[in-house]
Amino acid sequence: MKNYSWVLVFLFSLFFLPQISNSQENFRIEATFSAKEKTPNGKSKLTMGKVFFDKNDNKIVYEISFPDKAKLVVTDTVQYIIKEDSITTQTVPSLNQMSIFSLALNGSLDNFGLEKLKYTINSVEKSGDLVITNWFPPEDFQKNYGKIALSQKDRNLYGVIFFTPDETILGKQIFRKYTTVNGVSFPQEVVQITVFEGEEFYKLTSFSDIKVNNLENDATYLFDIDALKELDK
């Protein structure tokens, strides 16, 4: 079986667009979120909370309030799940800088960061009010990774479709209801569509109370991983 792990991280990582205004650098973003989904086993799931990202510190911090209180801290290599007095760790790919939050703050969501991954444009077409661009991976990646099709609407990223090398659809994402905060254009809804055994499963993530460059909550943005490690000993 071919390894599509980095693509799946894009699909399952929940969260994400901007244009820097004036001379001020946008370096932080936070939002309240709710994620509704139906899993392949037929269960419905609702998760609610807040998410924080500081691109200089490069950690994504989720404060989950429902269904259970928990904190999820994602670093470049490790994910920490903190529940009451328990701490669980899991190794993860180094993709924080390619998250939607980082792409938003760096103004790269319009091409989903594919330029940084050395993808190249193969074709561009117009369909109604959408501009569709097909991006192909570098030659040494083409054995394992397929093309990615992007669509833009009103100059904002609207849709992403992930393909396997044999042109099978692996998953999709739709970005809609954009709002602009401090010059950053951010989607208030993200629809994630995962294809599993020929069926499509949907997750709708809604964002509200979006803040950019909030100078409060340093302890959350700059979560002290070293102190956490000490507690886990």
Q: What is the CATH number of the domain that holds 142?
A: 2.50.20
> Which pLDDT value is given to residue 71?
94
Domain count, the chain: 1
Structure tokens given for 158: 């609207």
Which DSSP string corresponds to 153-197? ETTEEEEEEEE-TTS-EEEEEEEEEEEEETTEEEEEEEEEEEEET
Locus of tokens 């997750």: 203
Contacts of 212 (CB under 8 A, 6+ apart): 18, 26, 28, 29, 181, 182, 183, 184
Return phi, psi of residue 22, to 5°. 55, -145
Q: Could you tell me the residue range of the domain that residue 202 belongs to?
A: 5-231
Backbone phi, psi, residue 98, to 5°: -105, 10
pLDDT, tens digit only, all 233 positions of the chain: 444 444 444 444 433 333 333 336 899 999 999 999 987 777 899 999 999 999 999 999 999 999 999 999 999 889 999 998 789 999 988 788 888 898 889 888 999 999 888 999 999 999 999 999 999 999 998 999 999 999 999 989 999 999 999 999 999 999 999 999 998 889 999 999 988 877 888 999 999 999 999 999 999 999 988 876 665 55
Question: What pLDDT is stored for residue 9 in this prediction?
Answer: 44
pTM higher than 0.95, yes or no?
Answer: no
Question: What are the distances in angstroms from CA 1 to CA 4, 34, 85, 164, 225?
Answer: 9, 33, 38, 12, 35
